[in-house]
Chain A
Amino acid sequence: MLLYILRRLAVAVPMVLAIVFIVFVVARLAPASPIDIILGGKGTPQARRALEHAYGLDRPILAQFGAYLVGLLHGDLGRSFVHGQEPVSRIFVRDFPVTAQLALQAFLFTFLVGVPAGLLAAYYHNSWFDRALMAVVVLLVSVPSFVLGPLLVLFIAVRLGWLPVSGWDTPASTILPTVTLGARSAALVARMMRSSLLEVLQQDYIRVALAKGLTRAQAVWRHGLKNAFLPVLTVLGTTLGYLLTGSFVVETIFQVPGIGYESVRSISARDYPIIQATALLVALIFVAVNLLVDILYGWFDPRARLTGGSS
């Protein structure tokens, strides 16, 4: 098991480097250099050179990448172009906890709604509940969050007045953003849980369990659940990454003061260091979570330790 964990870690390290490199290179594609944006196209050549030197833009590109990497290790995510050139890390410390809370709440929603719904649908296969759930799943998979969110606001907040329209101050105001963000992944998890359990229920060991006198519920509980849960675990792992990306949209709809909303606002100000840092952070979290899922996978299913993980 320890060897397996070390092997997964050895795969993750070059992955992290590749992600940092891609994010670094993509920023180089910007049509205007940061200097142009800060100076707004004006400024004397001396001022340009001084700024270029201050940002290290006059050094070779690999040296710049090295400096970027070293900076990252010291928690330096670059500086905002506007906001009085505030360090991005400070903006993160202020705004990221809100995004993290939103993503975690949506994750809990996904887990607590998706898994039981999928279980029940498979257990009562072809019942009205199963059919209704599958219809809802298809609907939710086709409806993006920026359609679902405003519609929820329109009916639940505006018409019925049950919940606040936007904001992030009271626990009640977090409900609609959480549901909007988590609905799609809850649907995907429910579908995965259902199909996985249906497949497991056809296995011989379930038939054996039934033959030796277990009730259907006992067979599912003792033998089906653990085996059916493995594919769901993989989906749950990727879910957190999707939720973090989805927070761009959901925070914009509900004006949640998180890093997604801040990034989107920085887009119109052409202040890309913030969105660059957000993308980097989300990708790194995504890799970390998948690493964790791989390790859990190895713990649940010893066979995976030999072949090397879920993916």
Chain B
Amino acid sequence: MTAEELSPYKAISPGRQALRRLLRHRVVWFCLATIFLLTFMALFAPLIAPYRYDFEDTTRYFSVPSKPDGHHLLGTDNLGRDILSRLIYGSRVSLGVGIVTVLLEVLIGLPLGLIAGYYGGRIDSLLMRLTDVMFAFPDLLLAILLMAILNSGTQPVPPTLNVLTLFFALGIVSWPPLARLVRGQAAALRHREFVEAARAIGVPNWQIVWRHILPNLLDPVLVQTTQDVAGVIIAEATLSFLGLGVQPPYPSWGRMIFDALPYKETFPLMLIAPCILLAVAVMAFNFLGDALRDALDPRQRGIK
């Protein structure tokens, strides 16, 4: 008989325990439902949206938005385009940029942080100087500068290239915090007994990193990256708001808010609709990140 069978309690793996703690919150269900809905919207936008994003309804007044009616549930914008359809297509930009950028961030930040933290020494200080310099540009400043300069050509930028530069600009500004986090965790784990033991019996370095370091720092990385999706969604919307993100006529929530500003007094719905959608999307990822932190590390609860 093993100890497990003798115990009156059923053994539950830490992962399952965390999952249970996570799903106990009602907020988490709201977050998951929202994220699922947004993903569904983004994936099937052409099927759900009543109109194409760039379809201009010529029966509408020219250069003035119109109020909601049977044909356009949320009305049309100043070019006669269906606002609901543009919101639905806009989810592709927000979610797509959010997820791809965070993947990029992990691809760059995780290995660099692991190497710096595990090996230390000169590689470590080089990386830390590099992130120091990146941190000298507050917030989106570097992304704003990059996008402004990359879009400054005399010819308009083709849409694919535009999206790629957007990934590039946001990827560049988002990896340093993750690299720092991973580096700190890896540097702390490096001196733990189980790592020293593995080293003592001759386990090669890459295997120590893969089997012993990486699994132990995945929790904070998961929390961080979930919240970073929210951050990147805001970042993309900010760039688009400033005219530096996705180029028209493709809709982005940030640009839709900008376009609605002149009509805030006469057609507030045109402004409020993208605001609400953006806020809900950001909150879903933020709350999920918070809940994940609580579930994975119960000691932190209530303090942060």
Q: Give A residues with C-beta under 8 Å from B.
A: 15, 18-19, 22-23, 26-27, 29-32, 36-37, 40-41, 138-139, 141-144, 146-147, 150-151, 153-154, 158, 165, 191, 195, 198-199, 238, 241-242, 244-246, 248-249, 252-253, 263-264, 267-268, 270, 272, 275-276, 279, 282-283, 286-287, 311
| Cβ of B238 under 8 Å from chain A | yes
Docked-complex contact B146 and A150, CB < 8 angstroms:
no
A22 to B154, CA, bound (A): 23
A267 to B202, CA, bound (A): 57
In the complex, chain B residues whose CB is within 8 Å of the CB of A279: 137, 141-142, 144-145
Docked-complex contact B138 and A153, CB < 8 angstroms:
no
A176 to B303, CA, bound (A): 31
CB-contact partner of A264 in B140, B151, B237, B242, under 8 A: B242
Main secondary structure of the interface of A (DSSP, over half): helix
Docked-complex contact A248 and B254, CB < 8 angstroms:
no
Docked-complex contact B303 and A198, CB < 8 angstroms:
yes
Docked-complex contact A150 and B144, CB < 8 angstroms:
no
Docked-complex contact B138 and A244, CB < 8 angstroms:
yes
CB-contact partner of B152 in A165, A246, A272, under 8 A: A272
A144-B238 contact, Cβ under 8 Å, with A26-B145, A245-B141: yes
A-B residue pair count with CB separations less than 8 angstroms:
147
| Cβ of B136 under 8 Å from chain A | yes
A278 to B84, CA, bound (A): 37
In the complex, chain B residues whose CB is within 8 Å of the CB of A263: 148
Docked-complex contact B152 and A15, CB < 8 angstroms:
no
In the complex, chain B residues whose CB is within 8 Å of the CB of A151: 272, 275
B251 to A: closest C-beta gap in Å:
16
Could you jot down 26 A-B contacts, CB within 8 Å? A22-B133, A22-B142, A26-B145, A31-B153, A31-B155, A40-B154, A138-B290, A150-B261, A150-B264, A151-B272, A151-B275, A154-B268, A158-B265, A199-B303, A241-B138, A242-B138, A242-B139, A245-B139, A252-B241, A252-B242, A252-B258, A264-B243, A268-B243, A272-B148, A279-B144, A282-B138
In the complex, chain A residues whose CB is within 8 Å of the CB of B144: 245, 248, 275, 279
In the complex, chain A residues whose CB is within 8 Å of the CB of B145: 23, 26, 275-276, 279
A181 to B: closest C-beta gap in Å:
12
Interface 1/0 per residue, B239-266 and A, CB below 8 Å: 0011110000000001001101100110
Docked-complex contact B136 and A287, CB < 8 angstroms:
yes
Docked-complex contact B242 and A249, CB < 8 angstroms:
yes
A59 to B: closest C-beta gap in Å:
21
A153 to B290, CA, bound (A): 30
B233 to A: closest C-beta gap in Å:
9
Docked-complex contact B286 and A141, CB < 8 angstroms:
yes
Q: Give B residues with C-beta under 8 Å from A.
A: 132-133, 136-142, 144-146, 148-155, 157, 230, 234, 237-238, 241-244, 254, 257-258, 260-261, 264-265, 268, 271-272, 275, 278-279, 282-283, 286-287, 290, 303-304
B248 to A: closest C-beta gap in Å:
12
A214 to B299, CA, bound (A): 29
CB-contact partner of B148 in A138, A141, A275, under 8 A: A275
B237 to A: closest C-beta gap in Å:
6
A280 to B: closest C-beta gap in Å:
9
In the complex, chain A residues whose CB is within 8 Å of the CB of B132: 15, 311
CB-contact partner of B282 in A143, A165, A268, under 8 A: A143
In the complex, chain B residues whose CB is within 8 Å of the CB of A245: 138-141, 144
CB closest residue in chain B, given A151: B275
Docked-complex contact A144 and B138, CB < 8 angstroms:
no
The 6 closest A-B pairs by CB, nearest first: A241-B138, A31-B153, A245-B139, A279-B145, A142-B283, A270-B152
B97 to A: closest C-beta gap in Å:
14
CB-contact partner of A142 in B230, B254, B260, under 8 A: B230
Docked-complex contact B152 and A37, CB < 8 angstroms:
yes
A151 to B238, CA, bound (A): 16
Docked-complex contact B271 and A282, CB < 8 angstroms:
no
Interface-central residue, B142, B148, B260, by most chain A CB under 10 Å: B148
Interface-central residue, A37, A241, A245, by most chain B CB under 10 Å: A245
Docked-complex contact A150 and B149, CB < 8 angstroms:
no
